[in-house]
Amino acid sequence: MKNMEIIEGKMPFMGYETYYRIVGKRSEKPPLVLLHGGPGSSHNYFEVLDKLAEIDDRRIIMYDQLGCGNSSILDDHPELYTKETWVKELQALREHLALRKMHLLGQSWGGMLAIIYMCDYHPEGIQSLILASTLSSASLWSKELHRMIKYLPIEEQAAIHRAELTDTFTEPDYLKANEHFMNQHAIDMTKKWPECVMRKKNGGIVAYETAWGPNEYTPEGNLHDYEYTDKLGKIKVPTLITSGTDDLCTPYVAKTMQDSIPGSKWKLFENCGHISFVQKTDEYIDLLKKWLDAND
């Protein structure tokens, strides 16, 4: 992209550092802040949205949450990998970058973080919310994913069942089955994707296992009791839900959120898994541009 301004920086936070990346020039339009998944996934894949900054004359701000990427990795202090820490970090970033008005997009765990922030902290200045392939209930998510596991070959189902029964998630047959499941419903990493998606990420495994669990469908970390469906009515800002037809965020999970957030809209991307903005980037950016412009 020609003349695209990119600023990278680090914010001091709790005695550690949080890396952030700002794309685009400052303008009258409220910036879009992106919350990545995981926990522990890093901002990398959001770089496919850089062109939105150019075509919409709007700053896009992404960052690596504590525990992954270019931010401090606190694997010696896993007790800090909690929703409270990550909300505080988001609040600190808003203050550090003087983000009085902003749009907020959270993907997967990032959407959970956005929901926690909106429902429990009632922040001001959020122009709109985009919940990308996320969830409002850990128990519903687990139930839906276990339903989809039943479509795997019988030996792969058995390997996953064994791993959960014995709490052993290191056996080769389980790892192969889980990889097959994630290639089907997250993103098929045997295919070629943009460099930022294929790029090796730093750390994040301890953050993920501490907060969520050993895999997507076994939430036994400190977020195991994440149940926000009944709180979603507290979200009063314009909300757009996006998901894919083959997503870990099944249509049932997405519809549950839409039914519970007053006036929310839902866009389902055909033939997409968990990261539809990577799989259908141009279509996603077009949707985002229209949505943000309508809700500035």
pLDDT per residue over 229-240, tens digit each? 999 999 999 999
The pLDDT of residue 203: 81
DSSP state of 6: E
Task: Answer whether residue 160 shows pLDDT above 60.
Answer: yes
Check: CB of residue 181 under 8 Å from CB of residue 174: no
Mean pLDDT of 71-99: 97
* CB proximity list for 198: less than 8 A, separation 6 or greater: 189, 192
193 — pLDDT class (breaks 50, 70, 90): very high
* Measured distance CA(149)–CA(15) in Å, rounded: 42
pLDDT > 90 fraction of the chain, expressed in percent and rounded: 98
Strands 239-244 and 126-132 turn out to be parallel
- Predicted confidence band of residue 201 (pLDDT cuts 50, 70, 90): confident
Domains and CATH numbers, the chain: 6-139+196-294 (3.40.50.1820)
pLDDT on residue 1:
53
Per-residue pLDDT at 56 exceeds 80: yes
What pTM, to 2 d.p., does this model score? 0.97
Residue 4 has pLDDT above 90, yes or no: no
- With cut-offs at 50, 70 and 90, classify the pLDDT of residue 85: very high
Query: Residue 72: CB partners within 8 Å, gap ≥ 6?
Result: 16, 17, 18, 66
Mean pLDDT (the chain) is 97
Q: Which residues are catalytic?
A: 108, 247, 274
The arithmetic mean of pLDDT across residues 262-279, rounded, is 97
User: How much is the pLDDT for 2?
Assistant: 56
